[in-house]
Structure 1
Amino acid sequence: MTMSLTETPLNSLGLPKAPAETRVVVAMSGGVDSSVVAAMLKDEGYDVVGVTLQLYDHGAALAKKNACCAGIDIHDARRVAEEMGFPHYVLDYENIFREAVIDEFADSYLAGATPVPCIRCNERVKFKDLLATARDLDADCMATGHYIQRFEGRDGPELHSAADPARDQSYFLFSTTPEQLDFLRFPLGHLKTKDETRALARRFGLEVADKPDSQDICFVPNGDYASVIEKLRPGAGAPGEIVDTEGRVLGRHEGVIHYTIGQRRGLGIGGLTEPLYVVKLDVDNARVIVGPKELLATRIVPVREINWLGDAPFTSRPEWRLSVKVRSTRPPREAVVRPISETEAEVELLAPEEGVSPGQACVFYAPEGSRVFGGGWIWKGRSA
């Protein structure tokens, strides 16, 4: 296909504008990834505007390192903007974040689920409110430091896994809608290793080049979920019984919120002839139910709140042969996805998975290749 003299070539972000005429809002967490995105786009000549969201208590987080969107990380984002010479804004989203993410996180744990708040944050805050702010700033697109790829397909933009499987964040971004995907850009998704990102940071002279990656959920210091929930919901740590599947009492616990499906360690049960695992949480009766490992195997996974990213409508087929992830740390497994409605489905795993838990995401992938077809939320489970 030949381009006429009047056509404007696409820039590196896929837009028919010169970089200097293209405004890009970069979501900056203060980490090395989003800092590199901002610096790289500024270096390419784009009209960059950095935006950092203050998501939780700034005062309490000032000294907390390696978490996004508070304290020292806001300072780091601001410093990158000063070094590279583009404007930077900090928006106070504490109330929105608490209502949209933290409250549901606490309530889900109290209901016996194992929530993934990073997905809700992307869905309800970063790719909703922040994206709306980017449009208000007359941006042509919004860029983030997520490790995921966006390709222009025959029927519009497609979401694909990152080139580096070890850094891939597609599990946490399955709820990105087609409309959001049209506006979003992910400049790091094609990089093969994190070392490449850090090399770019050094090339641009960024002081965050060697900053460690964040490990914990930003509002959960040191991974201590229970203490955060007890603070948010006083009385949540009510003690109760640890029982087997027949209802026999094996021990006591100090709160259901301290346990997750599939847990083996830290049960505090002695004198057993075989290892036992948490197979169910009975929140109403404050009981932790334990059993042998084979009871964790699940084949049928009910999923709701589905976000579908396929070209054909989700309900246009009685079933879809896809690969699915039921945990962020597990590889995709072969499955049959049977639509019940546009937002609900039954997922049949061809090989049973252990530790499938309500509150986790079930993310859909192409059987071959890197395309992400969306996904939904596991809302209850039963063995089959």
Structure 2
Amino acid sequence: MNPSNSGFFFSDPLREVPLPPPGATVAVALSGGVDSSLAAVLMAERGCRIIGVTMSLHDPELVFPEGGGSGCYGPLKKENEETCHRLCAGLGGEYHVIDLWVPYKEAVMDYYRNEYLRGKTPNPCLRCNPLIKFGLLPEALRDMGKKFDFFVTGHYARLLSPGGEPERGIYLAPGKDASKDQSYFLHRLGGEQLRMARFPLGSMTKSEVRKLAAERGLASAEKKDSQDFIAKEDFDIVFSKTPVPQGDMVHSGGRILGKHRGLNRYTIGQRRGVGVSIGPDPLYVVSLDAENNRVVLGPEKELFSASLEASDTVWAPGFGTEPFRAFIKIRLAAAPALGLVTPREGNRVSVEFDTPQRAVAPGQSAVFYVPLSGETAGPIAGRDLGFCCIAGGGIIE
């Protein structure tokens, strides 16, 4: 492997890591949705022994109205446990619910609240996956005396290795369905977590998954996909025990325009809900000044950045020492942007974009995708990064 300014070259072709073989024992993280349910069924059909497991994350200190709390931390997730139990029973497997709400609250929910108050835009799933779902959850199963060979989830992502042999290094790659790809959410998983993980849906599209689930009579076949981490109607409840003071809303030129409702209600690039104007052109949130508790507004042209700095960087094997060109995603929904990635001391990284990018938000993560072939990274159509794997990623500062 040779990182360079023109691209990244793999001396040995990367191939998909095989799924668990017949006879293997697999722990399957279940949510009650179609993706994780089908993943469990497909593993059983391969002749694997199933141990289903669901993490209970509901914070009893948060009080939701009837019908509220649909997020992973809310009480409505409890309704899915019976569905998961029936599924595992039908597959001849075990099923366990593991209460992880205390470490989840400390590592994810408190982080989410605190980062907003620091003027950041956090992505809680990027902490939950390595620390809780792929960390404490399988660890808790082992503490119960449960032995398993692989940890299986319904994520839309793929695992690649030189020659398909994980012991030679393992790389995370986008799922086949670009519209459902979840590799961005998983990029912080460590090497040992990736070696244990398997994603049986990674080479499928969502429509294929629903078709296979319907053919197998799964009750979740037509179930709606999970929504955002926090539903709009739950926002005030999640922050109910966290004082969020109001402050000044100012123009980037220094003029005070009004009052904001709390830094946690704004993010870089936001236009709707700003509530003030000073002329015919719309105003956008261009920065969040936590030190002075101010929301800074300005014209759209002030949203574009030619570069970014990131910290707390994680790297795939072979990366992290030399500069390389890559496709960079600055948030899950962002189109990939070409640029030069330069590792720095102190686990930091600098990114220079070929074209300035809109609304680079501190607290979000920049994730770096490199082509699997030796071709120089060039423009792509749409957002399909299926010809790439992840080289690393860091939290935007």
TM-score if structure 1 supplies the norm length?
0.87
Alignment partners' CA distance in 2, 1:230 and 1:126: 23
Instruction: Kindly state the Cα deviation for residue 68 of structure 1 after the two structures are TM-superposed.
Output: 4.4
* Higher RCO (Cα < 8 Å, 6 or more apart): 2
Alignment partners' CA distance in 1, 2:141 and 2:102: 19
For the pair 1:108 / 2:120, whether they are aligned, the reply is no
Q: CA deviation digits over 1:138-170, x for unaligned, max 9?
A: 111100000000122253222111011011001
Instruction: Kindly state the Cα deviation for residue 124 of structure 1 after the two structures are TM-superposed.
Output: 1.0
* Residue of structure 1 in register with 2:329 after alignment: 325
* Contact 1:67–1:73 (Cα < 8 Å) also in 2: no
Aligned partner of 1:366 among 370, 379, 390: 370
* Contact 1:68–1:214 (Cα < 8 Å) also in 2: no
Question: Quick check: 245-254 or 96-105, which moved more?
Answer: 245-254
2:201 aligned partner, one-letter code = L
Instruction: Kindly state the Cα deviation for residue 265 of structure 1 after the two structures are TM-superposed.
Output: 1.4
Name the count of aligned residue pairs.
356
Percent same amino acid among aligned pairs? 37
Instruction: Kindly state the Cα deviation for residue 60 of structure 1 after the two structures are TM-superposed.
Output: 5.7
Alignment partners' CA distance in 2, 1:250 and 1:130: 48
**Gapped regions of structure 1 (runs ≥ 5):** 1-11, 380-384
Alignment partners' CA distance in 2, 1:271 and 1:112: 24
Alignment partners' CA distance in 1, 2:94 and 2:63: 26
* Residue of structure 2 in register with 1:197 after alignment: 209
* Residue of structure 2 in register with 1:46 after alignment: 48
Matched position secondary structure for 2:339: strand
* Residue of structure 2 in register with 1:89 after alignment: 96
Matched position secondary structure for 1:210: coil
* Residue of structure 1 in register with 2:37 after alignment: 35
For the pair 1:231 / 2:240, whether they are aligned, the reply is yes
Moved over 4 A (4+): 12-15, 58-69
Q: CA deviation digits over 1:24-49, x for unaligned, max 9?
A: 00011111100110111112210110
* Residue of structure 2 in register with 1:19 after alignment: 22
Alignment partners' CA distance in 2, 1:255 and 1:138: 47
Matches within 5 A, 1:158-169: 158-169=171-182
* Residue of structure 1 in register with 2:139 after alignment: 132
* Contact 2:27–2:150 (Cα < 8 Å) also in 1: yes
Instruction: Kindly state the Cα deviation for residue 373 of structure 1 after the two structures are TM-superposed.
Output: 1.2
Question: Quick check: 67-76 or 341-350, which moved more?
Answer: 67-76
* Residue of structure 2 in register with 1:255 after alignment: 262
Alignment partners' CA distance in 2, 1:190 and 1:183: 18
Matched position secondary structure for 1:232: coil
* Contact 2:32–2:80 (Cα < 8 Å) also in 1: yes
Alignment partners' CA distance in 2, 1:30 and 1:65: 16
Aligned partner of 2:105 among 98, 104, 109: 98
Aligned pair in 2 of structure 1 residues 342, 286: CA closer, same or farther (>3 Å)? closer
* Residue of structure 2 in register with 1:340 after alignment: 344
TM-score if structure 2 supplies the norm length?
0.84
* Residue of structure 1 in register with 2:85 after alignment: 78
1:34 aligned partner, one-letter code = S
Instruction: Kindly state the Cα deviation for residue 56 of structure 1 after the two structures are TM-superposed.
Output: 1.6
Alignment partners' CA distance in 1, 2:233 and 2:208: 28
- The structure with the greater share of residues assigned to helix is 1
2:231 aligned partner, one-letter code = P
* Contact 1:261–1:355 (Cα < 8 Å) also in 2: yes
**Gapped regions of structure 2 (runs ≥ 5):** 1-16, 372-376, 378-386
* Residue of structure 1 in register with 2:14 after alignment: none
Aligned pair in 2 of structure 1 residues 200, 342: CA closer, same or farther (>3 Å)? farther
Alignment partners' CA distance in 2, 1:26 and 1:342: 36
